[in-house]
Amino acid sequence: MTLTQLWFVIIAFLWLGYFVLEGFDFGVGILLPYVGRDETDRRVAINTIGPVWDGNEVWLIVAGASIFAAFPEWYATLFSGFYLPLLLILLALIGRGVAFEYRGKRDDARWRARWDFAIVAGSALPALLWGVAFGNIVRGVPLDARHEFVGNLATLLNPYALLFGVTTLALFTTHGAMFLALKTHGPVRDRARRAALRVGPVAALAAVCFLAWTQVRTGTLLSGLLAAGAAVALLLGLAATLPAGRLGPLSGRDGVAFAGTAAATGLAVASLFAAIYPDVLPAVDPAHSLTITNASATGYTLRVMSWVALAFTPFVLAYQTWSYWVFRRRLGRHDIAEAAE
């Protein structure tokens, strides 16, 4: 494996990790008004992601930095061509992060309601727009001979990309519902399971349609196998969400349900990267596509990055694993009452 291939795989892994981890963050935020009928239930839902949401966003920062360092031409074209949707995502993430910190600063229902709206909007908008952005990356965008984007916003709002936007929105909402069911008990868990059963079939249908469309357009044997695995994992996750005993020992198991949506999300992302390889940003005219070769940094840069990644990645993964282990127990209304005392 060459260094350019290695960094293509690393960047794909970083985006996979980001969507799997931040995906349930987005889902919890989207479902906040549904699972949180009063302030106590809303605090239960928010507290499930309180210790981890900012750590999950580190995956996005590292993924963007890795693209910048390993494939600078890809970074330049992507961030100039996708400037508006990426700016909207950034603003939504900032507003969402501020809302998490400020909603509890005043004991005022209207104050909290405004910040709760920011959490919902700051979760739903990126969940939709990340799908639109990645849908366009897989579909291909208009680039000129200098690898500059020559389209406009209307170019990005095509049916294929919008379908993936709907897919990621529904999938992340389902993923968040599975996470809440795994991490809570009481009324929040019951509502989260109902939400998963309502939104999950929409996510499954949209995902199957999008992955099938991708396979017809640019799919390979590897991307097809990954896409099939994603569909099976999602269906198993939904089956595990059904009440205990409905489908034998599989149903009623929150851990299996969450693992199913996590695996479905990860395999779907992996299938998209497998579908575009060796391109990093396909162009409408294949002669103008950015590939792992013509978009890469120098060999020296890639070697230095490889050693840095080898040295520090195990520590980062170990720390994040430890943080999830520490905050692994379920939460309920009584935990909020005890904290208030």
CB atoms within 10 A of CB 264: 28
**Helix/strand/coil percentages in the chain, nearest 5:** 80, 5, 15
pLDDT tens-digit readout, 9-18: 999 999 999 9
Using alpha carbons, list the distances in angstroms from residue 55 to 62, 97, 156, 172: 11, 12, 30, 18
pTM above 0.85, yes or no: yes
Low-confidence ranges of the chain (pLDDT < 70): 244-251, 337-341
Instruction: Annotate 14-29 with DSSP letters as a single string.
Output: HHHHHHHHHHHHHHHH
Distance of CA 216 to the CA centre of its chain: 24
pLDDT tens-digit readout, 80-126: 899 999 999 999 999 999 999 999 888 888 999 999 999 999 999 99
Contact 302, 4 (CB under 8 A): yes
